Amino acid sequence: MANNQDNIAFLFKALADRTRLRLINLIGEDEVCVCFFVEVLKINQPKISRHLAYLKRAGVVSARRDGKWIHYRITEPRDPHAARIFREVRTWLAGHPAMQNDRSRLQKICCAPRLPLQLQRAPRPASMTA
């Protein structure tokens, strides 16, 4: 029982940070490379990576390496109650105006005919390919 309570507490701690919520929102249903988070959020890569590592430890994101690129995607918590909470948070994020602005910036960057120099070789999220 204590283990489950610890997991739920860790989930709530992971969700208690605005930057981590923004990352969850930006990932959405995609698999997104760290470099896009840096560009959209204007936060340096080490800080983004620390937040993503926290979300990974909380069991809500997973990572995949492809050469020098690391892609992140949402994974649902194993506990059904935690999964329901996480789904509700993601639904709320999708309707929040500031989070919609972040998604719009990601869409604009990904769908631009010419990516910014630092993203030119980065793989675009699948749902946002031009």
pLDDT digits (tens, 9 = 90+) for 11-27: 999 999 999 999 999 99
Which strands form 61-66's sheet, in the order they lie side by side?
31-33, 69-74, 61-66
Do the domain assignments include residue 128? no
pTM of the predicted structure, to 2 decimals: 0.87
pLDDT(110) > 90 = no
Q: What are phi and psi of 19, to 5 degrees?
A: -65, -40
- Strands (DSSP E) along the chain, which ranges? 31-33, 61-66, 69-74
Query: Are the beta carbons of 27 and 72 closer than 8 angstroms?
Result: yes
Question: Residue 66 sits in a domain of what CATH number?
Answer: 1.10.10.10
Do the domain assignments include residue 130? no
Tally of structural domains, the chain: 1
DSSP state of 30: S
DSSP state of 59: T
Tell me the residue range of the domain where 33 lies: 2-123
DSSP state of 118: G
- pLDDT on residue 130: 47
| pLDDT tier, 104 (very low <50, low <70, confident <90, very high otherwise) | very high
